[in-house]
Each structure stands twice: as structure tokens, then as C-alpha cells.
């Protein structure tokens, strides 16, 4: 699916200045399609790390002959997801893994798929007579024998429903919301029409979604030559660009709402799509028929349009006058689509190289490429598949020499990606327990479709990428790739298999490719994406395949490490901190109605924590093999897992499956990333209350990341003992308690409860007293809320000071729960730090895992009870407020009645005086 038309999405620039390492920093601008970051501050200038003997040996293995042979076999027949060809290629990949010494298994996942039966598209005159008909077929080429295939006559969009519609046709440009707004402004009626749109600017499924929302009865999508046809250069077979009859197939699932199978049919564990995604299966795919066509077929329908002439931004490269429509002379268009929906298995292949770390300390590295294609997929995705097999060959060669990685490496060949990231999403959801400690996911989709290197990824991996690029030669100049790279690291949106890993699970991810300068190659998703195209136009010598395999392997080796030495991870969190600062500066520009102070403070706190952590990493790295093992372990634990802290427990507003608060695919772009998406989309919709709550929710996540990354130094030293003695149990306990605490705080934010003002009052009543009372027991839990007190709430500090510290168990609870707020006077109660650490270690060794798990369950139950009490107190507060308002209303009413009565009395008194005076006068 890889589609890199992200010209305006978030970018990170790394210029190779001042020696081997780049100069890093940020600056930003924002527009409707994403954010753009320019480096401005120097974050590091370290010498490039020399190649290890294992890395040098690996670089010698990938070769162009082997890559060519692999690609030629894989593209020898169509292998659409769920077909016999797909299964055959899965078996081929599995066998190849096993031949080089990597254990591999087939991982079938049951999903919903669609296949074409028949389709037609006709132009009808007033009488209903057909005057033109689209061929809906791609031409055969004598120079490319694989074009003689059944699939060339069966172009379709995955998940399009069947249907037949006859209606006028209108032209809606790229099908973006603003394009439909332009039609409405021009007085063009979309409701009840067939909408013709061109590919580009956003994911095709969102074009269908926008057309459906506008009331269209059907959609047609064509490839304009401006995008990837003759406007770019010579067309295939005389050049690399899209020929006249070429059709871009593709899924039209609403991928920006939720990735993966829209039915979750693979789940044996009771996964419910509505519970996971917040949408029913029906809401995740179009309910109107959608058909892709070539620009050769589109021409006659575009020429049939009448109405107003379209503006410049609606015009493509065809030699016609682009108009809004509808069709001239009351002509109509008849579109018929017949597709077959069926639940079928798709087959992932999972290769495993076990690491030397024990399971409770392991941080697996996952490599992934999808194998399924719309027809042959020589570029998308099987150039990446050939490269994955070269990486496997290189790693297999190292295994034969006795090498073993420190961390487990998974080599994953996904299926079902083209329909909506089905295989990778299924594996990630079903095996989330395996991935809860995963260090990174490194993806290659369309490995080679042009000569220009580009990458998207998590900012913390930027330094690693910059270093490795300096060790791989450019295929043509033989200079380091770093000298040819533009230096742009795009933010990850969606469109390939990294989506589940970064957007849902919070695992740092990287995606790499060689592509054309415009990042859109000419035969994308067509029958012409064949071995012949690759061998004549894409990468004739297969040298770019070798370069990508070398790059992919080096990144993986550096992340996985070697069993002979445990060193600090090659990740730079200071770059992540700079990125967060840039995201905030970008989004609040020209926004004066929102309060960003809490988020700014959280960003500064995270930046300081990141700087401290990176200084610690530099110190340990300088010590080399003399570095204390437990300190390196503790450091890598924090650095490798901190990305999870950016996940929102309830997900983004309106699309709960996407949980990362810093980046997500744009709601109306699908591919391109939006940074700070919850805030950005609320601002775009002018939902200011939602935007403010998202600012606070994001600030809470950044604060949590800062506290996770850099607890107090003495607490880190003590916690390291716990991680070394029983990391798995400690992680379960801390993770469970932290999740409960963060959920509790997010619920308070959602209900508008004050969490900063300890003396907030309403009508003289101190409504935060219940909060303070509820907070104090947190500090007595064991091991409770490791990071809870890091927010420095005064009432929490009081609870910590009151905690008992006499027994070893209470000491441990104090350290884990209240470290950041323990006073020097409390610390002085312990004879020495060494004795305190010794007490901690002895106590941990004495208590069994079973007892600790029982305690974790008990603390979880207590937290749930406390949370229930909080909810009860909140309901009481709401009741008090209602009663107070009712009482105030009654008092006001009584006051009004009293005033009226007083006036009546005064009037009666006045009248009585007047009568008495009159009576006196009469008597006289």
C-alpha cells in the first residue's frame, strides 16, 4: 500500500554538517495537510560509530543476483491476498527463512476480503442509449509477457460494495472536503449524482467516504497523467510512468478511522470491532459502489461534463477543459460493480531469532514487509520482500559463525496489507503481550521504485538512521548514502504496516524506501508493476535492492545488539523532546483562545528529563564494558519503553483505535501524518472546549513520559535492584498501577474536576477535600503509582510524609510510590543509602513472584474501590451543586416574595396614615 505522497506532512531534517554526525534542531510551519520541521539547534556532534566485525560481515552478504532471483520468482504469478498465489509465496518465504537457519511459522489470520466479478461504465444519451463505454482493462504488452493475465480485465477497489447506479456525473477533483465545498459554492448538486475524482492528495478510501457523506450514489476514481503519467515523462514500456490504460487498484476502507480487518473475524478472544474501533463494521467501509479507471477511460466522461469551468486547482494534465458538471445535454452515466465478499485466511510468515536476554528483560526488534500485491507487485511490495530475504540471508550467515543477538529479532512477512493492513494489525492485536516490551519496528514496503532515499519514523530513531546511512554506499556514486539523502524524516501517518505498532501500541517505528523524487512511481497498483518493469525501469542492476538490504540489516543489528556486550540503546530522546517543542510551537501559532501553559511546562519537563537521560547514556557508553550491568539495564528499560507513555488510554476523540497523542494519520488524508492530532483536529473543527481538553490530556501524557524517563537519581538506583531481581513482576505491578492512576486522572479531566487547585471552593464549600482525602492512601499502596507523586500535588506530598517507613515493605512502598516527594528529613531516617538498598534487595528476594502478583491484584482492587469512591464523591458533589442551585432559587423566590410583601405593608401603612389624617381633618 505504501504511498509516499506526503509532500506537506511532518518532516524532520538532518543535515550532515560539521563532521560525520548531523546537526539537529527544529522549526515549524503548518498548513492543512500537515506540519514541516526544520532543524535549527545542535543536539549532538558525536563521531560515527565504527562497524563491528558482525556488521562488516553482514554487509558482504546481500547481492544483486540473489535479490533479482528472489523478486523474479515472487512476481512470477499474481498473489492477491487470500489467493492460492499468496499462499504459495508465503511458503516460499518460510522455506527461505528456514534454509538460512531462521525458525519460521505460518501465521494464518481469518479476515474479510473482496474479489472482482464484473463491472461496467457507460455514458448514456437522453433516451438511455449507450454512446460510450469504458474498456476497464489494461492493455497487454509484447515486451512484458506477465501482462497477459486474468487480472488485467478485472480492475476493482477492495471493499467496494456491489451496485448499479444511473445518474448525472459531477467532477470533484481530489475528493477532499474543500473540493466538495467548492462544488457546493458553485451550486453543483452532488446529492443523487455519480462523483468522478482523481487520485492524489489523500487516501482513496477517504475520497469515497467524503463522496458518500455528500450524498453521492457512486464514485469513480481515475489516475490523471499530472500525477504519474505522461506529464512526468515517457510512459511504460518506453519509460517508467503510467500508460494510458493503466488502472490504480486499491482498498477503499476508511483507514483513518480504524486500521485492520473491519470485522475482526480472526479474533478467537472475543475482540469486538466496535469496542476496539468505536465503529461498526458497516461504518468502516463504503456503502456506495466505487470503481477505479484509467485516464484513457476517464477522458470521454470528463469531456461530457458541462456546467462551470473548474478552477486551476481542479485541472489535471489532460488536454481538455475541466468542468464541474453535471453531464451536458441531460446525459447520464451508468456504473455497475459486482464484487464478491468472503471471509478468507491470509498468511503471515513469522521468522524468529531468539535473543540472549531472559524473557522478562528482552526488548524484541521487529522487521516487517508485506508480501501480498494487487497483481504482481514488483515494486509494491515485493522489492521489499526480496530485501527482507537478503537481510535473512545476512543474519543467517552470522548465526552460522556463532553470533547471537542480545534481543530477539522477528522477521515478518505480512499478508492482507493492501486491503487495509490486515495481517500486521491482526498479529499485533492477537500477540500484544509479545509486543508489550518491543523496542522498535522497522518497516520496508516499496523498497525500490526510484533512486531517492526517503524515510519516515519516530524522532528518537533519527540519530541511529543518520549514523547507519554513513556506512552504506550509494549505488551510483559509491559515496555514503548520507551525502545523497535530503535529510527529511517524515512523521508516520498510515498506509503501511507500521500503523499498528506506532499508532496503537506505541512502539518506536521506522519506514524506509528508495523512490522517485515526487515519491509516486508510475505503475503503482497496476498490472505493469511487474518484474519486467523493475528490470528495465526501476532498478535494472538491482543495486538499490542491495543498498536497502544493507541499510535495513545495519539498523536491525544496532537495535538488537550482540550477546557479547550490553550497551545503552542507540536512541536519542533529546531529538524527541525537540520534536515535541516544535509540534507545540507549530500548532499554537496564531491561536490565542487556548491555554497552552500546561503543555509548554510538560514539554520543558520532558526535555530536561531527556537531556539527563542522554547524559547518563553517554556516560555509560564511555565506560564501555566497565559500565554496571544493572545501570545499563535500567537505562535501556526507560529509553526503550518511554514511547508507550504517549498513548491515550481512551484514544483520539472520535477514533479510539488511534492512541498516540503526538502523531496519527490525518482524519481527511489517511496517509499523511498530523502532529498533536487530538488538538489539531479539534482546532480545525473549531471545537474549542474539546481542543482545550486535548491540550490537557496531551500534557498529562508528556508529563507521564518525563516522570517515567527520569525519576530521582536515588530512586533509580533502588528501582534498578527490583528490575534486576524480578523485572517481569515489577513491570507488571508498576504498569498496572500507573495505568490505574492515569486512567483515574484522565477521568477527572474528562469530568472537569480540578486537579491543580487544592483549595477550589464553591459557595464556601471546599469541594477538593474529598480529593485530598482520597489521594493520601495512594502513598501507602505497595508498589503503588511509581510516578503518581511526580506531578507534585501538595496534598499527595502530605500523604507521602505521613507514610510509615519502619518496615521493609513500607519502605518499598514509599520508594515506589512517593520517591519524588520524600523530604531530606525522611531520608535521614535511614542509616545510609547502601543499607537502604541492601534492605530493598533482601526484601525483594524474600517475597516470591506469586505473592507479588497477589499484592498487585489486591492493589488493583483497592485502586478500583478508590476510583469508585471518587466517582461516588463526584456524584455527591454534582448533587450538592444541584441542591445549592435549587436552594438558591428558592431563597431568591422567597426574597422576591418578601420584598413584595414589604411593599404591600408599606403601602397599607401609608394608606392608613392618610385615612387617619383625613378622619382627623373631617372631625375638626
Residues with catalytic roles: 417
DSSP-derived pairing of the beta strands 103-124 and 130-133: antiparallel
- Selection from 410, 509, 413 nearest residue 109 by Cα: 413
Cα angle 852, 858, 862; round to 5: 140
How far is C-alpha 675 from the geometric centre of its chain's CA atoms? 10
- Selection from 15, 108, 510, 52 nearest residue 343 by Cα: 108
- Selection from 829, 800, 839 nearest residue 718 by Cα: 839
CA dist., res. 823 & res. 386, Å (int):
59
CA dist., res. 271 & res. 248, Å (int):
33
CA dist., res. 428 & res. 408, Å (int):
16
Do 58 and 554 meet the contact criterion of CB atoms below 8 Å apart?
yes
DSSP-derived pairing of the beta strands 157-158 and 163-167: unpaired
Do 257 and 280 meet the contact criterion of CB atoms below 8 Å apart?
no
- Selection from 335, 9, 370, 12 nearest residue 203 by Cα: 9
Beta pairing partners, 293: 222
Beta pairing partners, 110: 345
By CB atoms closer than 10 A (0-12, 13-18, 19+), residue 185 is: exposed
Residue 250 Cα distances to 7, 74, 470, 777, angstroms = 21, 20, 36, 55
- Selection from 441, 472, 446 nearest residue 546 by Cα: 472
SS3 category, 557 = helix
By CB atoms closer than 10 A (0-12, 13-18, 19+), residue 801 is: middle
CA dist., res. 881 & res. 893, Å (int):
18
Residue ranges of E strands in 652-703: 663-665, 673-675
Four-CA torsion 816, 817, 820, 821, nearest 10 degrees: -140
- Selection from 657, 537, 846, 616 nearest residue 276 by Cα: 657
CA dist., res. 700 & res. 715, Å (int):
22
CA dist., res. 618 & res. 625, Å (int):
13
By CB atoms closer than 10 A (0-12, 13-18, 19+), residue 640 is: buried
Identify the DSSP state of 822: -
CA dist., res. 812 & res. 832, Å (int):
15
> Other C-beta atoms within 10 Å of 343: how many?
13
Cell numbers of 597, please?
501553559
Cell numbers of 426, please?
491482526
Helix axes 629-641, 713-750, angle to 10 degrees: 20
Identify the DSSP state of 41: S
> Other C-beta atoms within 10 Å of 520: how many?
22
Provide the CB-side half-sphere exposure for 644 (13 A, CA). Answer: 18
Four-CA torsion 369, 370, 376, 382, nearest 10 degrees: 10
Residue 229 Cα distances to 175, 294, 374, 380, 523, angstroms = 20, 10, 19, 18, 9
Cell numbers of 254, please?
476508511
Cis peptide bond upstream of 343, omega within 30: no
Residue with cell 492524489: 200
Amino acid at each position: 500500500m505504501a504511498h509516499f505522497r506526503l509532500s506537506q506532512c511532518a518532516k524532520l531534517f538532518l543535515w550532515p554538517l560539521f563532521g560525520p554526525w548531523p546537526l539537529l534542531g527544529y522549526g515549524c510551519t503548518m498548513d492543512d495537510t500537515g506540519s514541516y520541521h526544520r532543524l535549527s539547534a545542535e543536539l549532538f556532534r558525536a563521531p560515527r560509530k565504527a562497524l563491528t566485525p558482525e556488521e562488516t560481515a553482514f554487509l558482504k552478504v546481500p547481492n544483486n543476483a540473489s535479490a533479482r532471483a528472489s523478486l523474479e520468482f515472487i512476481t512470477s504469478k499474481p498473489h492477491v491476498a487470500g489467493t492460492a498465489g499468496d499462499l504459495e509465496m508465503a511458503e516460499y518465504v518460510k522455506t527461505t527463512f528456514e534454509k538460512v537457519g531462521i525458525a519460521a511459522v505460518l501465521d494464518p489470520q481469518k479476515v474479510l476480503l473482496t474479489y472482482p466479478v464484473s463491472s461496467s461504465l457507460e455514458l448514456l444519451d437522453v433516451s438511455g442509449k449507450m454512446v460510450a463505454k469504458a474498456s476497464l482493462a489494461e492493455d497487454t504488452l509484447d515486451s512484458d509477457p506477465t501482462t497477459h493475465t486474468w487480472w488485467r480485465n478485472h480492475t476493482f477497489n477492495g471493499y467496494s460494495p456491489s451496485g448499479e447506479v444511473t445518474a448525472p456525473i459531477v467532477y470533484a477533483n481530489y475528493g477532499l472536503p474543500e473540493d466538495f465545498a467548492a462544488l457546493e459554492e458553485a451550486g453543483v448538486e452532488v446529492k443523487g449524482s455519480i462523483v468522478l475524482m482523481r487520485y492524489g492528495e489523500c487516501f482513496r478510501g477517504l475520497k469515497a467516504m467524503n463522496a458518500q457523506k455528500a450524498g453521492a450514489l457512486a464514485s469513480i476514481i481515475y489516475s490523471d497523467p499530472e500525477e504519474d503519467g505522461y506529464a512526468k515523462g515517457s510512459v511504460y514500456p518506453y519509460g517508467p510512468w503510467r500508460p494510458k490504460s493503466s488502472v490504480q487498484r486499491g482498498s477503499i476502507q476508511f483507514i483513518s478511522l480504524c486500521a485492520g480487518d473491519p470485522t475482526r473475524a480472526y479474533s478467537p478472544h472475543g475482540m469486538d470491532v466496535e469496542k476496539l474501533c468505536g465503529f461498526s463494521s458497516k461504518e468502516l467501509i463504503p456503502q456506495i459502489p466505487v470503481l477505479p479507471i484509467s485516464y484513457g477511460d476517464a477522458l470521454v466522461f470528463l469531456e461530457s461534463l458541462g456546467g462551470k469551468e473548474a478552477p486551476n486547482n481542479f485541472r489535471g494534465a489532460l488536454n481538455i477543459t475541466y468542468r464541474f458538471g453535471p453531464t451536458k445535454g441531460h446525459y447520464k452515466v451508468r456504473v455497475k460493480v459486482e464484487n464478491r465478499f468472503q471471509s478468507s485466511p491470509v498468511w503471515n510468515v513469522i521468522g524468529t531469532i531468539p535473543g540472549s536476554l531472559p524473557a522478562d528483560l528482552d526488548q524484541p526488534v521487529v522487521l516487517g514487509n508485506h508480501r501480498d500485491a494487487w497483481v504482481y507487485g514488483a515494486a509494491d511490495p515485493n522489492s521489499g520482500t526480496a530485501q527482507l530475504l537478503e537481510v535473512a540471508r545476512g543474519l543467517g550467515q552470522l548465526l552460522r559463525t556463532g553470533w547471537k543477538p542480545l534481543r530477539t529479532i522477528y522477521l515478518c512477512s505480512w499478508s492482507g496489507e493492501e486491503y487495509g493492513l490486515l495481517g500486521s494489525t491482526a498479529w499485533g492485536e492477537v500477540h500484544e503481550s509479545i509486543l508489550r516490551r518491543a523496542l522498535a519496528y522497522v518497516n520496508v514496503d516499496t523498497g525500490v521504485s526510484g533512486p531517492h532515499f526517503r524515510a519516515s519514523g519516530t524522532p528518537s530513531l533519527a540519530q541511529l538512521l543518520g549514523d547507519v546511512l554513513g556506512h552504506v554506499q550509494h549505488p551510483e556514486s559509491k559515496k555514503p548514502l548520507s551525502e545523497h539523502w535530503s535529510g527529511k524524516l517524515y512523521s508516520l501517518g498510515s498506509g503501511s504496516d507500521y500503523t499498528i505498532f506506532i499508532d496503537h501500541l506505541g512502539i518506536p517505528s521506522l519506514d524506509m524506501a528508495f523512490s522517485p523524487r515526487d515519491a509516486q512511481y508510475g505503475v503503482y497498483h497496476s498490472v505493469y508493476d511487474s518484474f519486467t518493469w523493475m528490470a528495465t525501469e526501476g532498478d535494472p542492476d538491482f543495486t538499490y535492492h542491495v543498498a536497502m538490504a544493507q541499510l535495513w540489516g545495519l539498523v536491525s543489528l544496532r537495535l538488537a545488539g550482540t550477546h557479547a556486550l550490553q550497551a545503552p540503546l542507540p536512541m536519542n530522546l533529546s531529538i524527541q523532546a525537540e520534536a515535541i517543542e516544535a509540534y507545540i510551537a507549530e500548532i499554537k501559532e496564531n491561536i490565542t483562545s487556548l491555554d497552552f501553559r500546561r503543555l509548554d511546562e510538560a514539554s520543558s519537563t520532558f526535555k530536561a528529563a531527556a537531556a539527563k537521560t542522554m547524559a547518563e547514556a553517554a556516560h555509560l557508553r564511555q565506560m564501555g564494558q566497565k559500565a554496571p550491568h544493572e545501570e545499563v539495564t535500567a537505562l535501556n528499560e526507560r529509553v526503550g519503553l518511554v514511547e508507550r507513555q504517549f498513548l491515550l488510554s481512551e484514544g483520539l476523540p472520535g477514533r479510539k483505535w488511534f492512541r498516540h497523542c503526538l502523531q496519527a494519520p490525518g482524519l481527511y488524508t489517511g496517509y499523511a501524518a498530523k502532529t498533536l492530532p487530538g488538538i489539531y483536529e479539534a482546532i480545525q473543527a473549531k471545537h474549542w472546549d474539546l481542543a482545550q481538553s486535548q491540550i490537557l490530556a496531551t500534557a498529562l501524557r508528556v508529563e507521564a513520559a518525563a516522570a517515567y524517563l527520569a525519576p530521582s537519581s536515588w530512586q533509580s538506583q533502588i528501582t534498578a535492584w527490583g528490575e534486576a531481581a524480578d523485572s517481569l513482576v515489577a513491570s507488571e505491578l508498576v504498569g498496572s498501577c500507573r495505568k490505574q492512576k492515569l486512567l483515574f486522572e484522565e477521568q477527572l479531566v474528562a469530568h472537569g474536576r480540578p486537579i491543580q487547585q487544592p483549595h477550589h471552593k464553591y459557595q464556601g464549600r471546599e469541594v477538593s477535600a474529598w480529593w485530598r482525602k482520597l489521594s493520601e492512601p495512594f502513598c501507602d499502596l505497595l508498589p503503588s503509582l511509581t510516578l503518581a507523586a511526580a506531578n507534585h500535588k501538595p496534598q499527595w506530598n502530605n500523604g507521602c510524609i505521613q507514610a510509615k517507613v519502619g518496615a521493609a515493605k513500607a519502605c518499598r512502598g514509599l520508594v515506589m510510590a512517593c520517591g519524588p516527594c520524600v523530604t531530606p528529613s525522611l531520608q535521614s531516617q535511614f542509616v545510609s543509602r547502601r543499607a537502604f538498598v541492601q534492605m530493598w534487595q533482601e526484601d525483594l528476594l524474600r517475597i516470591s513472584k506469586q505473592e507479588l502478583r497477589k499484592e498487585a491484584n489486591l492493589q488493583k482492587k483497592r485502586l478500583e474501590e478508590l476510583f469508585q469512591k471518587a466517582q461516588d464523591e463526584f456524584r455527591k458533589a454534582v448533587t450538592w451543586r444541584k441542591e445549592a442551585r435549587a436552594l438558591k432559587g428558592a431563597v431568591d423566590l422567597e426574597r422576591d416574595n418578601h420584598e413584595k410583601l414589604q411593599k404591600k405593608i408599606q403601602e397599607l401603612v401609608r394608606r392608613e396614615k392618610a385615612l387617619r389624617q383625613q378622619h382627623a381633618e373631617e372631625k375638626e
